[in-house]
Amino acid sequence: MQGNKLKNYLHLHFIVFIWGFTAILGALISIDAVPLVWYRMSLAVVFIAIYFFISKKSFKVDKKGLLKFVFSGIIIAIHWVTFFKAIKVSNVSVALVTMSTGAFFASLIEPVFFKRKIKPIEILLGLLVIVGLYIIFNFQSEYTLGIIYALISAFLSALFAVLNGLFIKKYDANVISFYQLLFGALGITLYLLFTQKFSIQFFQISVNDWFYLIILSSICTAYAFIASVYVMKYLTPYTVMLTINLEPIYAIILALIVFGEKEQMSVEFYYGAFIVLLVVILNGILKNTSLIKNKFKKK
């Protein structure tokens, strides 16, 4: 059991690295956030459906499950739209470090759904993330709009993680992912129809954008989405959210390599990012220490 947890924890880190690359793709793709997310979710649904047919998996789910997936699918769609908006109006580094507040939001939301007391250490670690962000944005105030979009995205990400922590107890990760992406894509489709945003130009995508969208929807969405839901069988939503805080670290390194000077920030920014990384490491140490103590108590 302990080995299984470690395996899934390492798998989660690999998924988070992929999500860090997602931000790079979001910056490279030239289309706006809403159509970007529509293409991402729609193509991902196709890829997962193909996987279902090849592996002969069932699409069956009860009506209550469908309603749950409609709600959570819309949440993930809005989360991604605000996430890519944050990148478009600021940059990868600003958007992703702000997203680290998701751990703080998760520490407040999770106890409500899982009916447990709020742990002081979770609040403390969440507040440390806030301190890191304060240090960063006290010197990078020109990115205010990007910060707002990223904060909204972080809250929705935390809510989504907590909900999936509940869903995975009853439903298969593949089924959850398929229907959430499907309903998220349908939700954006209705929005685009209502606002009359569908046009010939909407479907005129450059070859480069198509290439990046394929990678984004297959590896960074279809695979990573299913895998992230699966690991929640073994890890708590709070641990998942704190580990996701490593996403900005991976993404910042990748962004500096890909975009160079555009992503270079002030020294204070990196001080704040260091605090975020320190919180993630500290959480891992505390969680592992707790698991080891429980193991010896059982013996």
- In this predicted model, what pLDDT tens digit does every residue of 110-121 receive, in sequence order? 777 777 777 777
Q: How confident is the model at residue 3 (pLDDT cuts 50, 70, 90)?
A: low
Place of tokens 């992929």: 18
Rg (CA), the chain: 19
Domain segments of the chain as ranges: 2-298
Q: How confident is the model at residue 213 (pLDDT cuts 50, 70, 90)?
A: very high
Angle at 20 between CA 132 and CA 136, to 5 degrees: 20
Category of 115 on φ-ψ map: left (φ > 0), alpha (ψ -120 to 50) or beta? left
DSSP 262: G
Query: What would you measure as the largest C-alpha separation in the chain, in angstroms?
Result: 67
- Within 10 Å of residue 206's Cβ, how many Cβ atoms? 11
CA separation for the pair 174, 176 (Å, rounded):
5
- In this predicted model, what pLDDT tens digit does every residue of 120-160 receive, in sequence order? 777 787 778 778 877 776 766 677 888 889 989 989 988 98
Residue count of the chain: 299
| Whole-Å CA distances, 61 to 46, 106, 189, 299 | 18, 27, 23, 40
Backbone angles phi, psi at 206, to 5 degrees: -70, 160
Q: How confident is the model at residue 224 (pLDDT cuts 50, 70, 90)?
A: confident
The DSSP secondary structure of 91-148, one letter per residue, reads -HHHHHHHGGGHHHHHHHHHHHHHT-PPPHHHHHHHHHHHHHHHHHHTS-GGGHHHHH
CA separation for the pair 249, 92 (Å, rounded):
11
Q: Which tokens go with 254?
A: 């990748």
Q: What is the 3-state secondary structure (H, E, C) of 204-243?
A: CCCHHHHHHHHHHHHHHHHHHHHHHHHHCCCCCHHHHHHH
Region of poorest pLDDT, from 37-41, 65-69, 258-262: 258-262
